[in-house]
Amino acid sequence: MSVQPILVNGQWRASAGKETFQAVDPSNKQPLAEKFPISPWAEIEEVIQHASEAAAAVRGWPGEKFAVFLEDYANRIEARAADIVAIAHRETGLPVEPRLKSAELPRTINQLRQAAASAREGSWANATIDTKSNIRSMLGPIGPVVVFGPNNFPYAYNGIAGGDFASAVAAGNPVIAKGHSSHPGTTLLLAQLCLEAAQATGMPAGFVQLIYRTSHADGYKLVSHPLIGASGYTGARHTGLSLKEAADKGGKQFYCELSSVNPVFILPGALKERAQAVVDDFVGSCLMGTGQFCTNPGLVIVPEGPAGEQFIAGVAAKFEAAPVGTMLSGGVEQNFRAGVAAIQKAGATVVCGNKPADDKRYCFANTLLRVSGDDYLKNPHGLQTEAFGNASLIVVAKDLAQMIAVAKTLEGNLTGCLYTDTQGSDDAAYNQLAPLVREKVGRLLNDKMPTGVAVVSSMNHGGPFPATGHPGFTAVGFPASIWRFAILQSYDNVRAHRLPPALQNKNPSGKQWRLVDGTWSQADVV
Amino acid sequence: MSVQPILVNGQWRASAGKETFQAVDPSNKQPLAEKFPISPWAEIEEVIQHASEAAAAVRGWPGEKFAVFLEDYANRIEARAADIVAIAHRETGLPVEPRLKSAELPRTINQLRQAAASAREGSWANATIDTKSNIRSMLGPIGPVVVFGPNNFPYAYNGIAGGDFASAVAAGNPVIAKGHSSHPGTTLLLAQLCLEAAQATGMPAGFVQLIYRTSHADGYKLVSHPLIGASGYTGARHTGLSLKEAADKGGKQFYCELSSVNPVFILPGALKERAQAVVDDFVGSCLMGTGQFCTNPGLVIVPEGPAGEQFIAGVAAKFEAAPVGTMLSGGVEQNFRAGVAAIQKAGATVVCGNKPADDKRYCFANTLLRVSGDDYLKNPHGLQTEAFGNASLIVVAKDLAQMIAVAKTLEGNLTGCLYTDTQGSDDAAYNQLAPLVREKVGRLLNDKMPTGVAVVSSMNHGGPFPATGHPGFTAVGFPASIWRFAILQSYDNVRAHRLPPALQNKNPSGKQWRLVDGTWSQADVV
């Protein structure tokens, strides 16, 4: 059987690599038919060269060109939705409805269109004009961006279609996509549409390229290569940290989303007021997508006593009653089991689950663990181990002081939630807890679970280390996610006609927001 | 003789360190009387703890509080200008006039006041409100910031008074200043005024602290410490890269300004039109401050032929006629000589200088080197060695194609300049060169030397690696320099009264710019 091709400089071609891999259908553990190549270094080096040529070719292009490409691509994805859903379902085991067809794919198309709108409007570039000194600045493309797609979002974070891809392109950068090994067929199909869109809209040959897999050592060379501008990575912490170290040494930006347990503090008044609603909210969020979300609530802090016990019992009952979802791969199941075991070893006990559920597919019982606040505080690091999947750890805190102590131990997370009552009885506790949680998380929520990530300007899908590598940036939302893939470029005394249009006195579109002498404006400079 | 104290948690106290060092008057090579301590780790750890307490104490404070502190501090510096100038002159050998008294000190005071204005107005925080989803975000303080001051700006980049200090404070962060060993007395005096200002304006005890020196190993522990938010470093490349590696491994931001040769391309028409003016411009910029500027023009590309030779002869004549400035320290002189030697070894020849000038003080003759374009292209890396001081290398390029080839070899730099004629004869060449230079530099200049760094919003004092560690940020200019010391904080469904004032519907000052549903506005949200 022939090996699937890689996309290099506008051409589908056979990889020079001898080694191959196959995806596996997680619903029956059977390898899928198609073979995909592991690319050797010479091939990756060539991809980098072409990306660099593409970066030079599009230098100075107006945002409109990238917008047209992104929109054309979005349309093609929309037109082929049925095929894209079918293959991703087969490769990931994620449900067709509502997940793949009605949630993730529309979100992905929406992200591409929002990125297009940002590129067209141009305000993302933070054009800044100081008329007195005649110095002007704006953000420009950083150079070829490598995007490592994760296993858990075959579309929305896909290396060739997801948020990192869209924001890198919106800034004017070529993308080298590194597809995830668990859904290479989905990635290949998206890349075909991407190439069609690139060709239909006049993008240079090396603007979008695809490889599936490299050796670890070649991955380090790739992210630190002098011709690479930056990388976007979403995935396992260990792999991400190794890649980050290589990129850091080469002076390259490496935006990574590594791990997060997303603490949820449930205060006594909330349980008194609406215990069942909180249980339902939590179980829905925790088991959604078999818990395989970066923002899955993996650490819940409840008060000691009958209300806390009732919460735990309520969750356990629903965990046991709920169907056990299929996991993305054997590796995910294995890591999940190891995570659950590590949490137990660190001091937690099992409330329910923690057992195999169905040998025919990759899965593990919905698992709830618990630990007392006292025991948590003896090993807060070990008890913040991420078990990526359908599990959560409940910390039963003696009192507010112990909740505060737990909050102080938190590592960096994407999100943090506080549930309080609506009558004000939890307000004093909130006022002490929220500031501590605030500084450890990218997004702070009230009375809401963290798993929905809206694609809006104010979203922060990011957070302090080790959730990500830089607490100033978000991977979701426009224009902010674009800023990761941009460099600041100042023009000092540059003659007027030589300035980029966005920095000339006339506002090129009449719609671009520019900071002119300290005032945000869409007007021309007079 | 007693050892000078360090500043810990609001108290001047003796260091526990046994080792000391003394500054040296570079104008006579004599050690100055005062001894300063090298801090052991236990003391640094204590400083970090107090900084962390201070960060917690000021959490949620309005920008006004930081503004009042910065302004009070600026006033105290202004009132003590004569003393501050006297001591810095003694420690650095920099001229009192115009440099210290009329240029650097006013700039430093201005920076503190601009930072105060930014903190008060609040627009730096990029408050973003999406009313439909009720998600809101803004930038907040990153946590205690370590500032490593460099040798060459005793005020404007001083760890306890310079641009990094001012921008870290404007974001609401405590600062741990690490004074530079070549001007510890200046730093001590500034820190005294800083503490007075902090006390007068009600800042917590650990908000501003000062140490002078650490071991290398303790420096690595400091910048990677879990309680540290970020560091700002301006200084030698080797030291900076080691600190950056430690910080990167700890997941901490390390903003560094490492080295830059600041290429200047002089096109034939410019020489034909105004040869002498260009010579004067260049010599003034290159010898200013004995060439000890990050933006010193260290690499000049001129066309082969009589005009290029005339330029070189003109510069050499002025280099030989100009007084030889005093260097900041013996270390600077030694590194400078090593840099000049490395450039020769890489293929350049000496046009003038390259010899001792005055044994009684730290200095070395104004030195001009040259190399053919052919030879440059054989070793572009070696010939981009920074010789920090009063030297520059002229590359004599055969033709435009060779200038382009040179431009393609450039490493990341803070600045890049192009000189062209005003009649358009250089325009075609400019159009080919400028895009190449643009992507390698933070600030692109026309017909202007790079040494003046205006403190304006559109300034980029930054650039691609190895000029700095992140090409998206600037160390000079407000509000952009503040962004280095901030984290993105999103609020999802957070109840209205719990939001920070800047994210509530009412614009707290009526002056803060906020991005409301995609539109920049100073109005209330309705």
**Inter-residue contact B475 to B232 (CB < 8 Å):** yes
Range of the domain at B129: 6-258+474-482
Which one of A446, A464, A493 terminates a domain?
A446
Q: If you average pLDDT over every residue of chain B, what do you get?
A: 97
Tell me if B176 is assigned to some domain. yes
In angstroms, rounded to a whole number, what is the distance separating the alpha carbons of residues B63 and B170? 7
B239-264: average pLDDT: 97
Using a CB-CB cut-off of 8 Å, the residues of chain B touching A133 are 454, 456, 458
Size of interface A-B (CB pairs under 8 A): 195
- Whether residues A72 and A140 fall in one domain: yes
Comparing CA positions, the residue from B174, B238, B213 lying closest to residue B41 is B213
- Cβ atoms of B253 and B142 within 8 Å: the answer is yes
Average pLDDT on B448-467 reads 96
Asked whether residue A409 carries a pLDDT value surpassing 80, the answer given is yes
pLDDT tens-digit map of A292-319: 999 999 999 999 999 999 999 999 999 9
Confidence of residue A374 (pLDDT cuts 50, 70, 90): very high
- Kindly report the CATH number assigned to the domain that includes residue A251: 3.40.605.10
Residue B61 and residue B23 share a domain: yes
B433 with B386, same domain: the answer is yes
* Same domain as B120, residue B101: yes
> What's residue B2's pLDDT?
86
Q: Is residue A225 part of a domain?
A: yes
- SS3 per residue for A276-311: HHHHHHHHHHHHHHHHCCCCCCCEEEEECCHHHHHH
Confirm whether B283 is domain-assigned: yes
Of B9, B16, B115, residue with least CA distance to B52: B9
- Is residue A2 predicted with pLDDT exceeding 90? no
Q: Are A249 and A357 in a shared domain?
A: no
Whether B376 and B442 map to the same domain: the answer is: yes
Residues of B in contact with A135 (CB under 8 A): 454, 456, 458-459
Angle between helices A81-92 and A63-79 (to 10 degrees): 80
* Contact (CB, 8 A) for B304 and B396: yes
For residue B439, what are the CA distances in angstroms to A35, A142, A196, B410, B415? Answer: 40, 8, 29, 10, 10
Decide if B524 is inside a domain. Answer: no
One domain for residues A299 and A247: no
Q: pLDDT value at position B293? A: 96
> What CATH number has the domain bearing residue A307?
3.40.309.10
CB A284 within 8 A of CB A449: yes
Q: Is A76 helix (H, G, I), strand (E, B) or coil?
A: helix
- Min distance B437 CA to chain A CA atoms (Å): 11
Which residues in chain B have Cβ-Cβ distances shorter than 8 Å to A265? none
Across the range A324-336, mean pLDDT stands at: 97
Q: Say how far residue B274 (Cα) sits from the centre of its chain.
A: 32
Residues of A annotated catalytic, as ranges? 257, 294
Nearest Cα residue in chain B from A438: B489
Residue given tokens 């991420």 in the structure block: A386
Q: Which of B136, B444, B464 sits opposite A458 (nearest CB)?
A: B136
* A98 within domain boundaries: yes
Are residues B129 and B88 part of one domain?
yes
In this structure, the dihedral spanned by the alpha carbons of residues B326, B332, B335 and B341, taken in order and rounded to 10 degrees, is -10
Token readout for A105 is 């794919």
State which residue of chain A sits closest to B488, comparing Cα positions: A472
Distance from CA of B196 to the nearest CA of A (A): 29
User: Are residues B349 and B235 part of one domain?
Assistant: no
Rounded mean pLDDT of B129-150? Answer: 98
> What was the pLDDT predicted at B1?
59
**Based on the domain organization, do A136 and A214 belong to the same domain?**
yes
Of A135, A439, A446, the CB nearest to B458: A135
For the segment B319-369, what is each residue's pLDDT rounded down to a tens digit?
Answer: 999 999 999 999 999 999 999 999 999 999 999 999 999 999 999 999 999
Percentage of residues in chain A with pLDDT exceeding 90?
A: 99
Which residues of B are catalytic, by number? 257, 294
CA–CA separation, A496 and B153 (whole Å): 33
pLDDT in tens, A275-292: 999 999 999 999 999 999
Per-residue tokens: B429: 């060449």
Q: Is residue B456 part of a domain?
A: no
Residue B398: pLDDT band with limits 50, 70, 90: very high
- Residue pair B400/B429 in contact (Cβ under 8 Å)? The answer is yes
Q: Could you give the ipTM of this predicted complex?
A: 0.97
> Does residue B251 share a domain with residue B215?
yes
CB contact under 8 A, A487 and B472: yes
Percent of chain B with pLDDT over 70: 100
Q: Of B472, B483, B484, which has the smallest distance from its Cβ to A486's Cβ?
A: B472
Contact between B493 and A445 using a beta-carbon 8 Å cutoff: yes
Chain B residues in contact with A128 (beta carbon < 8 A): 457-458, 480
Domain count, chain A: 2
Contact between chains at A128 and B458 (C-beta distance less than 8 A)? yes
Mean pLDDT of chain A: 97
Say what the pTM is.
0.97
My answer on whether B186 and B64 are in the same domain is yes
* B193-242 tens-digit pLDDT: 999 999 999 999 999 999 999 999 999 999 999 999 999 999 999 999 99
Rounded CA gap, B498 and B494, in Å?
7
**Domain-located, residue B457:** no
* Yes or no, beta carbons of B520 and A520 under 8 Å apart: yes
pLDDT digits (tens, 9 = 90+) for A420-474: 999 999 999 999 999 999 999 999 999 999 998 999 999 999 999 999 999 999 9
Measured between alpha carbons, how far apart are the two ends of chain A, in Å? 67
**β B253-257/B230-234 pair status:** parallel
The minimal CB distance from A443 to the residues B462, B480, B492 is found for B492
- The C-alpha atoms of residue A419 and residue B339 are separated, in whole angstroms, by 61
Ranges of H-type helices in B346-448 = 373-378, 400-409, 427-438
**Which of B244, B465, B487 comes nearest A464 by C-beta?**
B487
Question: What mean pLDDT do residues A380-407 have?
Answer: 98
The per-residue pLDDT for A55 is 98
Alpha carbon separation from B519 to A171, A298, A520, B92 (Å, rounded):
20, 36, 9, 49
Nearest CA of chain B to the CA of A408: how many Å?
11
Half-sphere exposure in the Cβ direction for B459 (13 Å, CA): 21
Interface test with A, best of B457, B485, B493, B497 (most A CBs within 10 A): B457
Question: Distance between CA atoms of B338 and A181, rounded to whole angstroms?
Answer: 50
The verdict on residue A304 lying in a domain is yes
Which chain B positions have a beta carbon within 8 Å of A475's beta carbon?
none
Which residues of B fall within a CB distance of 8 Å from A456? 130, 132-133, 135
Q: Which residues contact A238 (CB under 8 A, 6 or more apart)?
A: none
